Structure 1
């Protein structure tokens, strides 16, 4: 029996007069990495924004642990254990690594001292750069900082990642992928939006393909990787 953590049922989402998501449904089970892949403009980021209440759906429902999320403000959704790391990462470039983490910790509950040390143990590169300004770090290091910040707020059991490999060198992409894998092994469920389909599918358990706001394919990640016709037709991967 599956342990369903997140469920999206038949949502429609619009930006003003533009209809972006059409009757979209997907599910994420506890402990999974689920990849949501598709071409640019397919609606992947809008799906994450719909979950977080930043672009609320006009129809349909979104639930976590069977509790309704649609209709809640983003900060209330965050308190329910969902953290979103946007494509732009949004670290504070003029602040040090340590200052970025302290700001994130202020949104959490209780004593954060032990959690700081856990974060530094988990991200040794950030430990080495505690006093370095975030804006002077590489894109990969800033991505690590963004993930670390997400883990320091209210306790997270579902992480929404939007294009974590964007703009990164191949070796750094591998490092970020390993961090995502380790987080998942520690019990964090992941919904991964990624333009780099092969990277996402190598990480994921299951996958959905999004095309112009509609789910057009659902399978295990391994099955999609082997389905070269679908990979080329919908994702442009040969």
Structure 2
């Protein structure tokens, strides 16, 4: 694991093992995310990337090892308690409530937070003007890019988020829409949200990220600055199939 100052470390995953039934998926996996970083977790399909995020969020708890946020253990907490600690997860395929309007999706998320969130709610519309234009539109009738914007906006409501886990945000999106999503991720990070990004589009992820890990069959096999990995074509081709 990278030797970084503990004061900067927001999330530490230390030697976790995770199983689905009798299937062993993650093997002594360790990674760290520091405040204000974008960290990319890349790997081939089936490498265990989504399982890593699910383990961090307590949805598929690790069978051993530790996960800490700001030095405090969270691996034994229920998912809703982990959410209260400032972690938010946007799953693959976005999973918005298609039969509800944009506003209903957002109000449902806002309702899970403590206190009056009216100011934050209006800030979301300022940050995502396309959603403001579609307040009364059913989410299921929007484009994939608009649904991804809604999923990101929804994750920022409720308990305050300082660490966002993003799972395949570019999946199924047209290249121009991917560029829009990349801009949103950058803006979020610049506003103070730390991001752990799982992404099949490795080049896109590495262009966004500060650091990167490669996951292969449940094990971390490479860690470096994202820019260094992007320039290392041998490693990119060997582990990710990117020439």
User: TM-score, normalised on structure 1?
Assistant: 0.99
Name the residue aligned to 2:222: 217
Counterpart for residue 138 of structure 1: 143
| Structure 2 residue 53 is the aligned partner of structure 1 residue 48 | yes
User: 2:180 maps to which residue?
Assistant: 175
Determine the C-alpha separation between the residues in 2 that align with 1:153 and 1:228: 41
Counterparts of 1:212 and 1:92 in 2: how far apart (Å)? 32
Q: Once the 2 structures are TM-superposed, how far is the Cα of residue 88 of structure 1 from its aligned partner?
A: 2.2
- Whole-angstrom CA distance in 2 between matches of 1:98 and 1:70: 33
Map 1:94-109 → 2, pairs under 5 A: 94-109=99-114
The alignment status of 1:202 with 2:207, answered yes or no, reads yes
The secondary structure found in structure 2 opposite 1:5 is strand
Find the aligned partners of 2:212 and 2:29 in 1 and give their Cα distance. 14
Q: Distance in 2 between matches of 1:26 and 1:115?
A: 32
For residues 41 and 179 of structure 1, the distance between their equivalents in structure 2, rounded to whole angstroms, comes to 27
1:123 to 111, 122, 128: 128
**Superposed displacement of residue 211, structure 1:** 0.3
Alignment of 1:26 onto 2:55: no
Structure 2 unpaired stretches of 5+: none
Deviation at 1:109, TM superposition (A): 1.2
Q: 1:67 aligns with which of 69, 72, 75?
A: 72
Count of aligned residue pairs for this structure pair: 238
CA distance in 2, matches of 1:161, 1:12: 21
3-state DSSP of counterpart to 1:63: strand
> Is 1:235–2:237 an aligned residue pair?
no
Give, in whole Å, the separation in 1 of the partners of 2:121 and 2:77: 29
Does 1:150 pair with 2:155?
yes
Could you tell me which runs of 5 or more consecutive residues in structure 1 were left unpaired when the two chains were aligned.
none
Selected match of 2:193 from 166, 188, 192:
188
Q: Distance in 2 between matches of 1:109 and 1:118?
A: 17
Task: Give the distance between the partners of 1:143 and 1:100, measured in 2 at CA.
Answer: 12
In structure 2, the residue corresponding to 1:159 is in which secondary structure?
strand
Structure 2: distance between partners of 1:124 and 1:45: 30
Please, which moves more after superposition, 188-197 or 105-114?
Answer: 105-114
Within 2, Cα distance between the matches of 1:118 and 1:106? 16
